[in-house]
Chain A
Amino acid sequence: MNCEVCNLKELEVEHYEIREVLRCVLHTIIFHRALGLVRPKEIDLELFEITYVQCGDPEVEKKIEEKIEQFIGWVEKHPNKKSQICLSFYEVKNKHGSWFSKQIEQLHWEHWYINLNVAQQPKVQSVKSHNSKVVDTGENNLEDRSIRRAALEASLRDVLFQIIRFVNDKKEHVPPIPNREGVISFPYEIILPSSSDSAFGMDMIKRMLQTGHPTMLS
């Protein structure tokens, strides 16, 4: 099947904004892909004037929260790095006797890459921050912060628009809704950057291998 990939615009976030931003993006994507019976839940972001919609499933919420926590932990260990979170939807196919010799195969049909650039906010006393004026660091910081936050809000809105556009444009590759109960109609996974860059690349390759041949959805 066609595996569609969507690379979302990069977002520059500060540490304390990670949670909200990730929640917003992940939930929005899942809301558009959870094609089971949904009771939409609107959530207002606290930091921004943006309202996003959750699918209302507590399992999903829990899973997303866990992943966010893991991600934050990872970010703390690897400060000042660009990171990417991959949200993938896959189909479970029972494949018999392929050379992979796997019985169960995950056929990914969609990848979403959320690109984040976590700016470690330098402490006020530190000199290496981009507002390096020590004299006015406090004020500068605040100003910069608000500027950055406004920019982030605009970017976040853009990302949401991007998601909606992508969701609308590419509908063909969505597999038929399996007859399963619940909100989530397609299994998904969230892959965080692993601890080393190289391994991250390996993950990507692994994932690509797993998706198998693109085949058109019948």
Chain B
Amino acid sequence: MDQIVSQFLLKSLHIILDSRIPSLHPNDQRSDRRTSVSRARKNDKWFNLVLGDRPAALENLNFWHRNLMDPMIIDIILVHEGPNSSSVDAYSAIKASVETVIERWVVHYESPRVTPNINDSSLHKKIYKKLIVLLRSLYSQMRLLPAYRTFRQLSSSSQTYNVNLIYKVSTFCNPFSRAEGEMMKEYTFAPVETSSGRFSVAVSYRKTLSDFNLEPATSMIPRIITDYVGSPATDPLRSFPSFGKGVQATSFPSSGVGQPSSAPFQRPHSWTSGFHRPAPFSQGHSLGGSPPTYGAYGSPSPPTDMYSQRAQSYRSPSQRVNSYEEYQLSPPFSPSPSPSPPAYFSSGSVGRNRGRSETAPMTIPHPTASGNARYLSPNFSDPNRHSLPPLSPRHTRLDPSSQESPSGHRSFRRPESLRSGELHYHYVNQKVTRDGRDDSGRFSGLLSSSGSPRIGFSQSSSRLSFQDDLDDGDFSCPFDVDDVDPPASNTGDGREGSESTSSSLPMGTKSQGAAVGMLVQMLRAAPPLQQDASCYSTQSLNTEQEGAVATASGFFMPRKTTDALEELRSYREMKNILLSKSGARVITKEEA
């Protein structure tokens, strides 16, 4: 009989945890979990209910649940990140997490008196049978209560949210406060009476969970460093190699993907002109934030245009394949991420992002980049800034530094922005100085999974932009020519007119190209990018660009402007795409 009791407790705990705690079986397809168990473990066959792997917690049950007669109280707690995390410094701020008990299960074998175990097998059989039925109904009930929806949402692998479900098992509990009690509804399963006691299972559950907004942890999204200028060293970064990485990044797998995405995201910071890879740095930065924040992909759909913008900026770099200077960036990249995107991502993975500052050669000697950053910042600064608080300071700094003048002091440091970017991308920016297209860095953070490919692009694009910037000679106004807008969808090349490497974009995937194109579009559309207003106009703004475009003013060079515009466009596109994904349609107008 004791065995029945203990197994019953174990089994009920197993059932409850299985359907409430997402972390127990991460990334497990429930169906897989079930079907894969072809042969149930012997222990699992208790009560004729095969549940699959037993969470480790159950193993410990025996240790702490010394007395079988004690009630087993399982609290399902919803941990909600505080609202302040949405503001800047999500990382640095201490998130106030609010814990709320949304369900309290009490499983109890009440035995008022110690009776000798009646080893009556028929009785036992009856009891066992009834317990089977009880557990079945418990199993079904788990799925009917409101908390199940929350669990399903959290365990779906596509996003990380700002809430988490944890549990706590104890043998006593603090009763609910009055207010809490009012929100709870009770349900008691019919107890199973035995001669020596009775089994009871009861639950107090919160009637509605709408108070908790399950939002994708977008707040964690790395902010785009609008001012991010590609790191001076970016040239090598800019290149597509990063791009390739960027592409990878786009894969945004859920949880953990964040990392890869981060890689491209780093770029966002490197808004700069060439989307040079400095962006990657920034992206990394921004992403950096994200990965830690959300387990899942670091940059969930960047809700803001900034992301889109970034993406666009990235696009340009990507387009620029020609700017092979950018390839130089790759070496920089190598340090952190291996050239192969996958590797990149791993390196860029979030954890690193923050810490990666070293990767970014920080100083982006890119005058242009700084310049870009400058004008980009106007556009992006606002939206982007706030998103990437850590970076923003940098940006501001950078802005002045990066001035338009090509001399650029690449002070804008992408490094700063990059700091998060860990990804080596930042170095890309070296070249960027010229165009100051750091924005690309920023874009990295943007897009959500869908956009991720874009981001990758943006990075590359940003890189490209940087490249362009850096090499005036080489990229003569990469963005000058609006012709680049070619299959914006595909490759974002549009950015560079001359260099536009749209075709040459190594973008492997169409989506990437699209992302890049978007970035470019965005950049192009960036109203602020005045100089080549004409360029803008010519740019086929396929993607709606939000007004987030970098201000045209301040572009010192037509090229940069164009680049920036392209970047903006691309970002805008990305943003729009993101928004449209979320149902918002943003039509961007050409600010130019």
B51 contacts across to A, CB distance below 8 A: 40
Determine whether the beta carbon of B140 is less than 8 Å from that of A39.
Answer: no
Q: Are B48 and A38 within 8 A (Cβ)?
A: yes
- Chain B interface, number of residues (Cβ within 8 angstroms): 31
Which of the residues A37, A40, A174 comes within 8 Å of B133, measured between beta carbons? A174
Return the contact of B130 from the options A36, A160, A171 (Cβ within 8 A). A171
> Interface digits, B43-60 against A, CB 8 Å rule (1 contact, 0 not)?
001001111000000000
Interface residue A52 (Cβ < 8 Å from any Cβ of B): yes
B580 within 8 Å of A (CB atoms):
no
**Does B34 make an interface contact (CB < 8 A)?**
yes
Complex Cα distance A176/B34, Å?
Answer: 28
Chain A residue with Cβ nearest B38: A39
A37 in contact with B40 given A53-B143, A171-B190, A176-B129 (CB within 8 Å)? yes
Specify the main secondary structure of chain A where it touches its partner: mixed
Measured CA separation A51–B155 after assembly (Å): 15
Contact with B along A158-185 (1 / 0, CB 8 A): 0011011101110100101100000000
> In residues 16-69 of chain A, which contact B (Cβ within 8 Å)?
28, 31-32, 35-42, 49-53, 56
Is A157 an interface residue when CB atoms closer than 8 A count as contact?
A: yes
* B133→A171 contact, CB < 8 A: yes
- How distant is the Cα of A110 from the Cα of B141 in the complex, in angstroms? 21
- Smallest Cβ distance from A149 to chain B, in angstroms? 17
Does B31 reach chain A (CB closer than 8 Å)?
yes
Answer yes or no: B144 CB below 8 A from chain A CBs. yes
Asked if residues B129 and A167 are in contact (CB atoms below 8 Å), the reply is no
Taking the closest CB of chain A, its distance from the CB of B527, in whole angstroms, is 40
Residues on B with C-beta less than 8 A from A50 are 144
Q: How many A-B residue pairs have CB under 8 A?
A: 82
**Closest A residue by C-beta to B201:** A168
Pick the residue among A28, A37, A157 that contacts B50 (CB under 8 A). A37
Are B132 and A168 closer than 8 Å at their CB atoms? no
B48 and A36 contacting across the interface, CB-CB below 8 Å: yes
- Residue among B35, B40, B49, B140 with the most chain A CB within 10 A? B140
Main secondary structure, interface of B, reads helix
Which of A35, A160, A169, A174 is in CB contact (< 8 Å) with B48?
A35
In the complex, chain B residues whose CB is within 8 Å of the CB of A169:
190
Which of B140-162 touch A at CB < 8 Å?
140-141, 143-144, 148-149, 152
**Contacts A38-B49, A50-B144, A51-B143: A176 and B134 contacting too (C-beta < 8 A)?**
no
Contact B48 A167 (CB under 8 A): no
Q: Quick one: CB contact mask for A56-97 with B, threshold 8 Å, 1 for yes?
A: 100000000000000000000000000000000000000000
Contact (Cβ within 8 A) B144 A40: no
B133 touches A167 (CB 8 A): yes
Nearest Cβ on chain B to A72's Cβ, whole angstroms: 25
Distance in angstroms between the alpha carbons of A127 and B148 in the assembled complex: 42
Question: Is the CB–CB distance between B143 and A32 below 8 Å?
Answer: no
Interface residues of A toward B: which range?
Answer: 20 to 34
Contact between chains at B45 and A39 (CB < 8 Å)? no
How many angstroms between the C-alpha atoms of A160 and B142 in the bound complex? 12
Q: Does B4 have its Cβ within 8 Å of any Cβ on chain A?
A: no
- CA A53 to CA B148, docked complex, whole Å: 13
Report how far A39 CA is from B40 CA in the complex, Å: 9
Contact flag A39-B137 (CB < 8 Å), given A157-B144, A169-B190: no
How far does the Cβ of A127 sit from chain B's closest Cβ, in whole Å?
Answer: 36
B125 within 8 A of A: yes
Query: Is B189 in contact with chain A by the CB < 8 A criterion?
Result: yes
Q: In the complex where A41-B31, A161-B144 touch, is A49 in contact with B49 (Cβ < 8 A)?
A: no
Contacts of B125 in A (CB 8 A): 176-177
Interface string of A197-217 (1 = CB under 8 A from B): 000000000000000000000
Chain B nearest Cβ from A162, distance in angstroms: 11
Partner of A160, one of B31, B140, B148, B189: B140
| Complex contacts, B65 vs chain A, CB 8 Å | none
Closest Cβ of chain A to B4, distance in Å, is 15
Chain A CB within 8 A of B96 CB: no
Q: How far is the CA of A31 from the CA of B137 in the complex (A)?
A: 9
Residues B137 and A40 in contact, CB atoms below 8 Å apart: no
Contacts of B130 in A (CB 8 A): 171, 174
A sample of 9 inter-chain contacts (CB < 8 A) reads A32-B140, A40-B34, A42-B143, A51-B144, A161-B144, A164-B137, A168-B137, A171-B129, A177-B129
Residues of B bordering A, CB below 8 Å: 30-31, 34-35, 37, 40, 45, 48-51, 125-126, 129-130, 132-134, 136-137, 139-141, 143-144, 148-149, 152, 189-190, 192
A-B pairs, top 10 by smallest CB distance, nearest first, are: A168-B190, A39-B50, A51-B143, A164-B137, A37-B48, A171-B130, A32-B136, A169-B190, A168-B189, A167-B137
Chain A residues in contact with chain B, CB under 8 A? Answer: 28, 31-32, 35-42, 49-53, 56, 157, 160-161, 163-165, 167-169, 171, 174, 176-177
- Given contact pairs A39-B35, A41-B31, A176-B129, a sample of 17 additional A-B residue pairs in the complex whose CB atoms are under 8 Å apart: A35-B129, A35-B136, A37-B40, A37-B48, A38-B49, A38-B50, A39-B50, A42-B30, A42-B31, A51-B152, A53-B143, A160-B144, A164-B144, A165-B190, A167-B136, A168-B134, A174-B130
